[in-house]
């Protein structure tokens, strides 16, 4: 198998969401001395994009996205130390959590995996995060983007509170809110910089905000 074939196989396994086989191929890629940055760009990132496109076309659903995201995560665990050795620069740091009162984390889990698959550094605050905690960790981690993901209409108020506090406390990161409940109007009301309804669009949005191709 030549390098291109190994990378193609790895990408395909990621798209199919078969973690065990994806891991086999990433180890093969490392054993074949393929540049880790090339593995990231040509197999992992492209695989994630293909998964996103299938979702947009209605060929993939949440279950398929999650399994692909799991494969990406597993591969990233293997390749991250190599990327550090190569001094690979992450395209950005994203701090993410669900607002206080919202314990739903399906959207957040998906976005985290897909962002990691695109090489982003992600700080996961978990669920039910009070505004003060967002501020505290944002000050410590200095992220480029803060993502607030929620499912319930009742959490729009808490998103507003969180965004207001982040801005008041001088946090400069761009703020993206995500969830099926949101709209252009509610995004404006909340005071966020951008909004998204689904995980894959959220990843594309963050890449655009970060000017990552």
Partner 1 sequence: MPHDWEASRRRIGATIAGGVGIDRVPYFPIVCEEIICRISGKTFRELLSSPKIYGNAAIMTYEFLKADSLAIPTAYAGPAEALAFAEANNKEDVIKWSDYKVFMAKQGAICKTEEDIEKLEIPDHSKISLWDTCISAVDFVREKTRYPQACALGIWSVVQELRGVQAYRDMRKNPDILLQLCEKVYQSQMDIYNLFTERVGPSPTIFFTGYAFNKHMMSFDDAMKYEGQFIKRLQNETKAKIMLHNCGTSPYFDEVCDNLDVFAINGSHPLDIEYWVGFKERHPDITIVGANFDVSRELFSGTPLDVEEKVKENITHLASGGRYAVGPICCLPWGVSLNNIMAIPKAIKKWGTYPLQTL
Contacts with partner 1 by CB under 8 A lie at: 17, 58, 61-64, 66-67, 70, 101-106, 109, 127-128, 152-154, 156-157, 160, 180-183, 185-186, 188-189, 197-198
Reading the block at residue 55, the tokens are 């979702």
- Distance, in Å, from the CA atom of 41 to the CA atom of 36, rounded to the nearest integer, reads 9
Find the shortest distance in angstroms from Cβ 45 to partner 1: 23
- 191 three-state secondary structure: coil
- How many angstroms separate the CA atoms of 54 and 80, rounded? 26
H helix intervals, the chain:
3-16, 19-31, 36-39, 46-56, 62-85, 106-117, 131-141, 156-168, 184-190, 199-209
**Least distance to partner 1, CB of residue 192, Å:** 13
Q: Which is nearer to partner 1, 14 or 39 (CB)?
A: 14
C-alpha 87: how far from chain center: 21
- Which residues share a beta bridge with 145? 94, 174
Q: Where are the alpha helices (DSSP H) in 40-155?
A: 46-56, 62-85, 106-117, 131-141
Give 31 or 185: the residue with its C-beta nearer to partner 1: 185
Cβ 36 to partner 1 shortest distance, Å:
28
Please identify, using beta-carbon distances, which residue of 128 and 141 lies nearer to partner 1.
128
Complex with partner 1: residue 1 or 61, whichever CB lies closer: 61
- Alpha-carbon span 35 to 32, nearest angstrom: 9
Q: What's the CA gap between 73 and 27, in Å, rounded?
A: 14
Q: Which is nearer to partner 1, 63 or 89 (CB)?
A: 63
The CB-of-54 to partner 1 minimum distance in angstroms stands at: 13
* Least distance to partner 1, CB of residue 147, Å: 16
Smaller CB separation from partner 1, 32 or 106:
106
């Amino acid at each position: 198998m030549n390098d291109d074939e190994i990378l193609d196989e790895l990408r395909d396994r990621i798209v199919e969401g078969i973690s065990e086989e994806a891991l086999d191929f990433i180890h093969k890629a490392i054993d074949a001395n393929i540049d880790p940055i090339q593995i990231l760009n040509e197999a992992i990132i492209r695989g994630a994009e293909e998964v996103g496109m299938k979702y947009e076309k209605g060929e993939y659903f949440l279950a398929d996205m999650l399994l692909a995201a799991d494969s990406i995560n597993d591969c990233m665990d293997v390749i991250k130390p190599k990327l550090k050795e190569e001094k690979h620069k992450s395209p950005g740091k994203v701090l993410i959590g669900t607002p206080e009162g919202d314990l739903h984390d399906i959207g957040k889990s998906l976005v985290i995996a897909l962002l990691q698959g695109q090489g982003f550094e992600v700080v996961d605050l978990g669920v039910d995060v009070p505004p003060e905690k967002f501020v505290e960790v944002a000050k410590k981690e200095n992220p480029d983007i803060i993502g607030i993901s929620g499912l319930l209409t009742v959490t729009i108020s808490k998103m507003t509170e969180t965004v207001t506090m982040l801005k008041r406390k001088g946090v400069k990161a761009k703020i993206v809110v995500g969830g099926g409940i949101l709209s252009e109007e509610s995004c404006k009301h909340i005071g966020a910089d951008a909004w998204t309804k689904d995980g894959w669009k959220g990843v594309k949005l963050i890449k655009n905000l970060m000017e990552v191709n």
